[in-house]
Amino acid sequence: DSGVTQTPKHLITATGQRVTLRCSPRSGDLSVYWYQQSLDQGLQFLIQYYNGEERAKGNILERFSAQQFPDLHSELNLSSLELGDSALYFCASSLSGQSPYNEQFFGPGTRLTVL
């Protein structure tokens, strides 16, 4: 158990809908990262937050947004969902914002299926 929790574990929804994925980092970790993992694209970095502020942005679509709250939990919002958004979404946390100076601890993931 990494100490990172993600909810829900599974999510099935329809095209055009909007969903919110939630992540609670390890106690004491200030950075949260979001990743998308699909068979064809592999593991793609989406976005990083550090202590409430956006720190780095990766291949995140405009339809997707994220935020980190004062209690350091984070949410990833996916809107206008398309079939191609079906994937595993992972959250990871680290102590500082300077990764990979610090190892990342991954949550169990949320499996999103868009029908």
Partner 1 sequence: SQQGEEDPQALSIQEGENATMNCSYKTSINNLQWYRQNSGRGLVHLILIRSNEREKHSGRLRVTLDTSKKSSSLLITASRAADTASYFCAFLNRDDKIIFGKGTRLHILP
Position among 92, 93, 112, 114 found at the interface with partner 1 (CB under 8 A): 92
Residue 90 binding partner 1, by CB under 8 A: yes
Position among 56, 72, 78, 115 found at the interface with partner 1 (CB under 8 A): 56
Reference 32, options 89, 75, 91; nearest CA is 91
Residue 27 binding partner 1, by CB under 8 A: no
Residue 64 binding partner 1, by CB under 8 A: no
Three-state SS string across the chain, please?
A: CCCCEEECCEEEECCCCCEEEEEECCCCCCEEEEEEEECCCEEEEEEEEECCEEEEECCCCCCEEEEECCCCCEEEEECCCCHHHCEEEEEEEECCCCCCCCCCEECCCEEEEEC
Position among 20, 22, 38, 45 found at the interface with partner 1 (CB under 8 A): 45
Name which of 4 and 76 has its Cβ closer to partner 1.
Answer: 4
Position among 21, 36, 50, 109 found at the interface with partner 1 (CB under 8 A): 109
Which residues of this chain interact with partner 1, rule CB under 8 A?
2, 4, 33, 35, 42-45, 48, 56-58, 88, 90, 92, 99-101, 103-109, 111
